[in-house]
Amino acid sequence: MKPRNWVVLSTTALILSIGMFSFKSTARGESLKEQHAELIVGHIKLYRNLLGLIQDFRNIAADPATAGVAAVMGVEDHVPQIEDRIKFLERMLPTVDDAIVRRAIQLKLLELYKNHNAPEEKRTRQLQSLMTGQNHWD
């Protein structure tokens, strides 16, 4: 996510939390100090969640296999047409050295094959390769 998007996200969350705390607090008849304290606690939780999200993203980026699996999972966001996704993943599969990423591609291909009514041969080839650990896509 671009830095500007983080600012927009956190600002929006801040505005929403202010509105929620104001409505909730006045409905209960709390004092301004109590409202302020709840608002501060809400901000702390928001920033803690944001830092957790950043740490999670860092952990994904630090491990090549995890980053590769995340890329496979996000292929729909970048390749909108199912036929193009299948072609892209089929083209990538023989070039990937990491066994974990290769299996993630195979699992994604199985899902796409099922949703696109691909020939049984393609599906069984991926299943066989997943089960035996041998490359059956050539």
For 75-86, the pLDDT digits (tens) are: 999 999 999 999
Both 87 and 114 in a single domain? yes
Structural domains counted in the chain = 2
Which range is least confidently modeled, 1-15, 52-66, 90-104? 1-15
Same-domain pairing of 27 and 71: no
Distance of alpha carbon 136 from alpha carbon 130, whole angstroms: 9
Rounded CA separation 110/92 (Å): 15
Q: Kindly state whether residue 137 falls inside one of the protein's structural domains.
A: no
CB 88 within 8 A of CB 74: no
Identify the three-state secondary structure at position 59: helix
Task: Determine the angle formed by the axes of helices 64-73 and 32-62, rounding to 10 degrees.
Answer: 110
Residues 12 and 49 grouped into a single domain: yes
Q: Are residues 96 and 107 in the same domain?
A: yes
The C-alpha angle with vertex 71 and arms to 66 and 76, in degrees rounded to 5, equals 145
Whether residues 109 and 121 share a domain: the answer is yes
The domain of 102 spans 64-132
Q: Are residues 128 and 74 in the same domain?
A: yes
Q: How confident is the model at residue 20 (pLDDT cuts 50, 70, 90)?
A: low
What pTM did the predictor assign? Answer: 0.64
The pLDDT value given to residue 82: 92
Give the residue-averaged pLDDT of 77-96.
94
